[in-house]
């Protein structure tokens, strides 16, 4: 209990809650008016700009390499740039983009296999656009990003890729899990070394916070890279800033904005219960480790107005 209080105090200081713009960020999926959603959207944009002004930027837009634009998908017909973020509804939005581009006939978004929506080469991204066109698009197109609580996204990636049993999970366990176990487990079993299938959340957290060059390639995987690194929200002024917590409203606004309201964004999002499990998983980590992890996602926390209420306990609010 004492430990918890110190911990709360520390983060009360650390977490910079500029002001709360998102009164309905409570996971409710009731629909709100487009006007209300748009005013939230504008407030979020302002908050990003305010937060960005507080940080010295490492780069200017000019200095980004083409590959740093590769998460931004291009739809010329609807003048839309969408920076996709794994673990933040990106499968459904990729499906929508397929329908918009005429790559799928049915208007039922969920009828598209997820693997198809993620297949390489399905979409054009901004890395292959000439600099001149890129500048024009960034100036004139709608620019969408959908964000999520950083630790919730992180846990979602862990549960999906390192705990899961899907093909994709097996791939990650083989490629990433084995390396984590080799680096962090004392006396690993042969089975763990061979399959990488039982990485604990703590081992995963230690691996992510390891600054060694040797691990950098997997630490920088898109599934857990900070959104700020993938989408550069201080350099690109996103005009549609959605949140996972208000996904339906924000998606309806985006579809309305690009004249694609005929598409039914899936209402029934199946939740994997990540938010509810957050406290349990993070209680396996000690305070210094959580602090190092927080540092990695500091910009995501501040720019997108999240805080650590859901990690540090229920007595904060």
User: Considering the rule CB under 6 A, would residue 34 count as an interface residue with ligand NAG?
Assistant: no
User: Considering the rule CB under 6 A, would residue 70 count as an interface residue with ligand NAG?
Assistant: yes
User: Considering the rule CB under 6 A, would residue 43 count as an interface residue with ligand NAG?
Assistant: no
User: Considering the rule CB under 6 A, would residue 169 count as an interface residue with ligand NAG?
Assistant: no
CB of 111 to ligand NAG, least distance (A): 11
CB of 9 to ligand NAG, least distance (A): 26
CB of 277 to ligand NAG, least distance (A): 25
Of the candidate residues 215, 263, 289, 316, the single one contacting ligand NAG (CB under 6 A)? 215
User: Considering the rule CB under 6 A, would residue 286 count as an interface residue with ligand NAG?
Assistant: no
Asked if 150 contacts 226 with a C-beta cutoff of 8 angstroms, the reply is yes
User: Considering the rule CB under 6 A, would residue 130 count as an interface residue with ligand NAG?
Assistant: no
User: CA angle 48-51-55, nearest 5°?
Assistant: 130
CB of 70 to ligand NAG, least distance (A): 4
The CA distance from 236 to 143, in Å, is 8
Of the candidate residues 165, 212, 273, 288, the single one contacting ligand NAG (CB under 6 A)? 212
The CA distance from 279 to 148, in Å, is 16
Exposure b/e, 119-131, CB count within 10 A at least 16 = b: eeeebebbbebee
Of the candidate residues 108, 133, 214, 286, the single one contacting ligand NAG (CB under 6 A)? 214
User: Considering the rule CB under 6 A, would residue 210 count as an interface residue with ligand NAG?
Assistant: yes
- What are 261-267's contacts with CB under 8 Å, separation 24+? 262/107, 263/96, 263/99, 263/100, 263/107, 263/109, 264/107, 264/108, 264/109, 265/92, 265/96, 265/109, 266/92, 266/109, 266/110, 267/29
Asked if 174 contacts 196 with a C-beta cutoff of 8 angstroms, the reply is yes
Look at residues 317, 295, 283, 269 and name the one whose alpha carbon lies nearest to residue 93.
Answer: 269
User: Considering the rule CB under 6 A, would residue 71 count as an interface residue with ligand NAG?
Assistant: yes
User: Considering the rule CB under 6 A, would residue 239 count as an interface residue with ligand NAG?
Assistant: no
Asked if 176 contacts 166 with a C-beta cutoff of 8 angstroms, the reply is no
- Contacts of ligand NAG in 247-276 (CB under 6 A): 258-259
Rule CB under 6 A: which residues touch ligand NAG?
70-71, 103, 105, 120-121, 125, 127-128, 183, 190, 206, 210, 212, 214-215, 258-259
């Amino acid at each position: 209990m004492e430990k918890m209080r110190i911990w709360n105090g520390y983060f009360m200081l650390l977490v910079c809650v500029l002001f709360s713009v998102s009164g309905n960020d409570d996971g409710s999926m009731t629909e709100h008016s487009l006007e209300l959603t748009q005013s939230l959207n504008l407030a979020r944009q302002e908050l990003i700009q305010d937060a960005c002004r507080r940080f010295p930027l490492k780069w200017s837009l000019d200095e980004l390499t083409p590959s740093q634009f590769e998460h931004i998908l291009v739809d010329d017909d609807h003048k839309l740039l969408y920076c996709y973020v794994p673990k933040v509804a990106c499968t459904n939005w990729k499906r929508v983009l397929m329908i918009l581009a005429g790559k799928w006939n049915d208007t039922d978004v969920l009828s598209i296999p997820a693997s198809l929506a993620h297949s390489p080469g399905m979409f054009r991204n901004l890395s292959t656009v000439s600099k001149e066109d890129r500048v024009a698009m960034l100036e004139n197109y709608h620019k969408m990003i959908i964000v999520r609580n950083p630790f919730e996204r992180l846990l979602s990636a862990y549960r999906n890729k390192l705990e899961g049993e899907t093909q994709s999970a097996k791939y990650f366990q083989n490629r990433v899990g084995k390396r984590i176990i080799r680096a962090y487990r004392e006396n690993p079993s042969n089975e763990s070394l061979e399959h990488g299938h039982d990485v604990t959340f703590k081992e995963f957290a230690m691996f992510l916070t390891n600054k060694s060059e040797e691990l950098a390639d997997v630490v920088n995987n898109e599934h857990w890279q900070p959104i700020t690194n993938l989408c550069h929200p201080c350099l690109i002024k996103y005009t549609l800033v959605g949140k996972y917590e208000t996904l339906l409203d924000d998606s309806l606004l985006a579809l309305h904005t690009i004249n694609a309201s005929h598409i039914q964004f899936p209402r029934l999002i199946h939740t994997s219960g990540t938010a509810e499990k957050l406290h349990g998983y993070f209680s396996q980590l000690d305070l210094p480790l959580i602090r190092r992890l927080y540092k990695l996602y500091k910009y995501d926390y501040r720019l997108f107005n999240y805080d650590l209420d859901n990690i540090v306990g229920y007595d904060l609010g």
